[in-house]
Chains A and B, each alone.
Chain A
């Protein structure tokens, strides 16, 4: 599994397309519902974690299904602690998930202004 992280609008998906030959048909764009792990690239995981009680548990339960995937996650956990409890939980759960996925990944790339910074 490859993990791609970075800020909003930094070119994470474009990087996945250029580097790993991903096309739009390969991409599952996350929302509140189930993740379609049959797709090669799972995009906007921060939308899945929004309001989800246990994103790490969910990913652990489906561990076999994403071993060869490209996972894309926005690093929403760098800013100010939000006032609302829901956003605080979102920020923490997403940060913890990033650590878990990063440990599992064979490669971690951070995208800054369209440029790759290889973290692992």
Chain B
């Protein structure tokens, strides 16, 4: 099962992604993507680590080329990649080159993310939705938005499930059975269907009918 999640900041994307990852399998990796640039980032990383505490994730650090993870991690397990945004940012504006824009590197990073989605058994990608505001951005910011949007679209096209999170509520844009996970009876989204998520399961059924592939 491959899952792509996006949405606004602090809307519950990571929490949802963690819950899905936990439901997908026992052996799970958290792919840590963020390069800390100071105290604020350290605090965010600390909060994310605390959130995952006890959920059984093995942390693998990967700041740029996602396929490198597989040198140490087992591809037949669950991967939580949080976030695609950080990977694109790290490659598009490389710290070691004084943050000078490198679109080719970002495109290679995007290619690897698609390859990763096609290689591993289960993966949950988290991205950020930054495309709907009334602002004239600088050229480099527009390049960043376009690079991230391009990879979002490519991942949304290859992933089995695509979810937008708004105020903690999932909107299902795509949901299909994974070919790779065929034969596994477990429904990875089943935790939605318990009492606390009954309404979400209903919303999903309404929207997805006729769209399942």
In the complex, what's the smallest C-beta–C-beta distance from A87 to chain B, in angstroms? 5
Interface check B149, CB cutoff 8 A: yes
Interface check A91, CB cutoff 8 A: yes
A-B contact count (CB 8 A): 69
Stretch at the interface among A2-10, A27-35, A55-63, A99-107: A2-10
Q: Are A7 and B132 closer than 8 Å at their CB atoms?
A: yes
Instruction: Please encode chain B, from 136 to 171, with 1 for each CB lying within 8 Å of some chain A CB and 0 for all others.
Output: 100000000110011011011100001010000001
Closest to B172 in A: A117
- Please indicate the chain B residues that have their CB under 8 angstroms from the CB of A8 in the complex: 131-132, 145-146, 149
Interface check A25, CB cutoff 8 A: no
Q: Are A79 and B134 closer than 8 Å at their CB atoms?
A: yes
Q: Are B173 and A82 closer than 8 Å at their CB atoms?
A: no
Interface check B135, CB cutoff 8 A: yes
Q: Are B134 and A113 closer than 8 Å at their CB atoms?
A: no
In the complex, what's the smallest C-beta–C-beta distance from A53 to chain B, in angstroms? 16
- Please indicate the chain B residues that have their CB under 8 angstroms from the CB of A112 in the complex: 6, 156, 162, 164, 173
Q: Are B153 and A11 closer than 8 Å at their CB atoms?
A: yes
Closest to A82 in B: B134
What DSSP secondary structure best describes chain B's contact surface?
mixed
Alpha-carbon separation in the docked complex, A98 to B188 (Å): 37
The size bracket of the interface on A is 20 to 34
Q: Are A76 and B150 closer than 8 Å at their CB atoms?
A: no
- Please indicate the chain B residues that have their CB under 8 angstroms from the CB of A91 in the complex: 134
Alpha-carbon separation in the docked complex, A10 to B156 (Å): 11
Q: Are A117 and B173 closer than 8 Å at their CB atoms?
A: yes
Tally B residues with Cβ within 8 Å of A.
24
Which chain A residues (102-120) contact chain B, with CB distance < 8 Å?
112-115, 117
Which chain A residues (60-114) contact chain B, with CB distance < 8 Å?
74-80, 82, 87-88, 90-91, 94, 112-114
- Please indicate the chain A residues that have their CB under 8 angstroms from the CB of B145 in the complex: 8-9
Q: A113-B173, A117-B171 are in contact. Are A7 and B162 (CB under 8 A)?
A: no
Q: Are A114 and B153 closer than 8 Å at their CB atoms?
A: yes
- Please indicate the chain B residues that have their CB under 8 angstroms from the CB of A94 in the complex: 134
Alpha-carbon separation in the docked complex, A97 to B190 (Å): 41
Alpha-carbon separation in the docked complex, A115 to B156 (Å): 8
Closest to A75 in B: B132
Interface check B133, CB cutoff 8 A: yes
Task: Identify the 10 closest CB pairs spanning chains A and B, nearest first.
Answer: A79-B133, A7-B131, A9-B149, A78-B132, A91-B134, A113-B156, A114-B153, A7-B132, A8-B131, A76-B134
Which residues does A use to contact B, with CB under 8 Å? 6-11, 74-80, 82, 87-88, 90-91, 94, 112-115, 117
Which residues does B use to contact A, with CB under 8 Å? 4, 6, 129, 131-136, 145-146, 149-150, 152-153, 155-157, 162, 164, 171, 173-174, 207
- With A112-B164, A113-B155, A117-B171 known, 8 other A-B pairs at CB within 8 A are A9-B150, A9-B153, A76-B132, A78-B133, A87-B134, A87-B135, A94-B134, A113-B153
